[in-house]
Amino acid sequence: MHFILCSGEFLLAGRIPSDYFDIFMAISRACRLLFRPRGVLKTEIAAIDKDLKYFVSNYYTKIYRGTTEWLPLCLSTIATLLDIVPLLWACGPAWVTWQFPMERKIGTLGKPIRAASKPHASLTVNVTRHCKADLVSSFGELYVPKEWAATTGKQPEATGIPVRSLVIPEDVGRDCALLPPKKPSLHLSGMELESMRAALMLQSATEVPLAIEAKMYYRA
């Protein structure tokens, strides 16, 4: 996935014939829209469909070529790419249905297997113990917070807006808050300062401060 979405373009540029590079770029463009963690527009779905059809048709025409010598390259999985857009219309964007979270969960199940002779029984016992611990913790924190804090020594988390967040007016709500700056304020100097002042002058700013600071915020 990293090769298709990020590194393949500049690693292959100028190193393979242009026709094959165009085939690769078609699948890359489609995947960059498919794996984007937000919705896709109708125009973007049409672009995905066009790129996938271009990739599949040129794959069989220029790579497989319909000859017995290239029979190992005649993979049925290539044709299934044509099902992506119909499934996209039926099920929504890929991030709605992809199974990466479950794969990560499966990847964590190796540690609870502590008995190689009885892996299934060991996994069952340890996962059950972990689930019971989570149930006890969540019940104690939610329904008996004072007793839970006295027993564990952990104070319950304060409700409301997190610490160091901006105060949001009630009529606006808490849909969005700004985190504190990632870095402390930095004084601009040299070319950056001159460029900033020139931009303010072009905008007909009446007052240009002598000290200009840059702050960076990330939305939560």
The pLDDT tens digits for 100-120 are 777 777 788 888 888 888 888
How many CA within 13 A on the CB side of residue 114?
A: 6
pLDDT score recorded for residue 194: 76
Cα 119 to Cα 116: distance, rounded to the nearest angstrom: 5
Cα 22 to Cα 32: distance, rounded to the nearest angstrom: 15
Q: Which of 61-70, 125-134, 181-190, 205-214 has the lowest mean pLDDT?
A: 181-190
pLDDT score recorded for residue 220: 43
Spatial contact of 179 and 219, defined as CB atoms under 8 Å apart: yes
pLDDT score recorded for residue 162: 55
The residues spanned by each domain of the chain are 2-97, 103-152, 164-220
How high does pLDDT run on average in the chain? 79
Spatial contact of 122 and 112, defined as CB atoms under 8 Å apart: yes
Spatial contact of 5 and 33, defined as CB atoms under 8 Å apart: no
Q: Which of 20-29, 60-69, 133-142, 147-156 has the lowest mean pLDDT?
A: 147-156
Cα 166 to Cα 176: distance, rounded to the nearest angstrom: 10
55 CB-contact burial (10 Å; exposed 0-12 / middle 13-18 / buried 19+): buried
pLDDT tens digit sequence for 149-178: 888 887 766 555 555 555 555 665 555 545
pLDDT tens digit sequence for 74-105: 888 888 899 999 988 888 887 777 777 777 77
**Threshold 0.75, pTM exceeds:** no
